[in-house]
Amino acid sequence: MEQNKNSPTKRVRCIVKLGGAAITCKNKLETIDEENLKEVSTHLRQAFLPDSTSANVLGMDWSKRPGQSEAPSFIDDFGDQPVADSESFIAVHGAGSFGHFQASKSGVHKGGLSRPLVKAGFVATRISVTSLNLEIVRALAREGIPSIGMSPFSCGWSTCQRNMTEADISMVTKAIDTGFVPECCNTSSFEFQVLHGDAVLDTLQECTILSGDVIIRYLAAELKPEFVVFLTDVLGVYDRPPVEPGAVLIREIAVLEDGSWSVVKPKLEDTIEFTVAAHDTTGGMVTKITEAAMIAKLGIDVYITKAGTDHSVKALSGILKGGIPDDWLGTAIRYVS
């Protein structure tokens, strides 16, 4: 296959989806789960900079924080060592308790930007999701991860009847190919692009919500990462809502050439049912499985597991590509020829 002209020169090792439910408090409007976000950020650093420790992390959030009289200064901690060559990673996060409320109340996902309520909701939704994006970038930067926030709307991404039609990834690839901040510990440096689900323009219905799961599928097709990891608030995909008695964790899903998929492990007798929360404007688990299956069809393994656990660290490290250990809890989705 001919390489896309916008493909980066550096190989993208992994695309990570930070589920909104894993990093925000689902039942508290616009509230970040600070403990979980900190844990996830630490695990991302440990997975991508295995030789790093909390003691040698060089913080990159130099802005003034609430309660501080002045901005922190870490400039003197950075040396003049050259930036080593490295692989790159991309993160895409969901909205959780950010954005969904504004979008569902105004009907942004249904279109009709010419209506005052929808236009106001479009603005409110973008304010909400971009504010979350900033806080995630800051959390990663505090772990020494040189993160750059990118909004699909600002990059000119658009849809037609909610299907991706235009997505200029040139800024993403330029960011991947550019070393932003040198790591001063004895490891290679890397770059981390952070995108998010967003309100975008739609050529048929004027506007809609572009979900993070759709973004990941598009980026995976364009950038061909080694693997993709979805970090959620549960251990993986279940045969029914995990809060229900008897819910079974699906360990492995096989995807066929035609895009259809079936459960390989464990063997299930009952029909799988997925539900979508009333406030979720992006399709919930249904969209996640569909997009993950399309990614796996490209020959890219997909792992879905719980954020902030040892299982997520294993998934992020890439060791699952060599085989899924029996003690790993999550859902692996793979292409079967």
User: What pLDDT score does 136 carry?
Assistant: 94
Q: If you average pLDDT over residues 314-327, what whole number do you get?
A: 92
The pLDDT tens digits of the residues spanning 133-192 come to 999 999 998 888 888 888 999 888 999 987 888 888 887 877 776 643 222 233 334 557
User: What pLDDT score does 162 carry?
Assistant: 79
Reading the block at residue 138, the tokens are 């800051």
User: What pLDDT score does 153 carry?
Assistant: 92
User: What pLDDT score does 57 carry?
Assistant: 78
The pLDDT tens digits of the residues spanning 21-36 come to 999 998 899 999 999 9
The pLDDT tens digits of the residues spanning 71-107 come to 666 656 666 554 444 557 889 999 999 998 999 999 9
User: What pLDDT score does 4 carry?
Assistant: 52
The pLDDT tens digits of the residues spanning 268-319 come to 766 565 544 444 444 456 667 888 899 999 999 999 999 999 999 999 999 9
User: What pLDDT score does 110 carry?
Assistant: 93
| Separation between Cα atoms, residue 293 and residue 313, nearest integer Å | 22
The pLDDT tens digits of the residues spanning 107-140 come to 999 999 999 999 999 999 999 999 999 999 999 9
Q: If you average pLDDT over residues 183-209, what whole number do you get?
A: 73
User: What pLDDT score does 290 carry?
Assistant: 83
